[in-house]
Amino acid sequence: MRRRITMTSGFKREAQRLLKRHRPTPQEPSNAIDAVVSKNGCAMPTRYRGHALAGDWRGYRESHVHDDVLVIYEMPTGTVLFVHAGTHDLFFKNKRH
């Protein structure tokens, strides 16, 4: 069973920009999103490096889609809300991570 997917307009815009710039294989983004929204109780594959965020991003999670391309999302009950897509440099400037 899968969670319902919701995406902010900012996420959609950022994701399109990143797909043009980084050119992952066509299945990479969909495989990563499938791993996030899967509700079968299995842990996310380690290649996506999914983890909870801290500090200003507390309550959100991050997963890598391709190299340094990542998605930030939160998971209210039964839903995955994709909030941002970008790189570490974009989101965590001047902060240690």
What would the 3-class secondary structure string for the chain be?
Answer: CECEEEECHHHHHHHHHHHHHHCCCCHHHHHHHHHHHECCCCCCCHHHCCEECCHHHCCCEEEEEECCEEEEEECCCCEEEEEEEEEHHHHCCCCCC
In this prediction the pTM is 0.73
Residue 85 inside a domain? The answer is yes
Quick: pLDDT tens for 9-57: 998 888 888 777 766 555 565 667 777 777 554 566 677 778 889 888 8
The number of beta carbons lying within 10 Å of the beta carbon of residue 72 is 19
40 or 72, which is more confident: 72
CATH number at residue 23: 3.30.2310.20
Print the domain residue range for 37. Answer: 4-91
* Residue 81, in any domain of the structure: yes
Domain count, the chain: 1
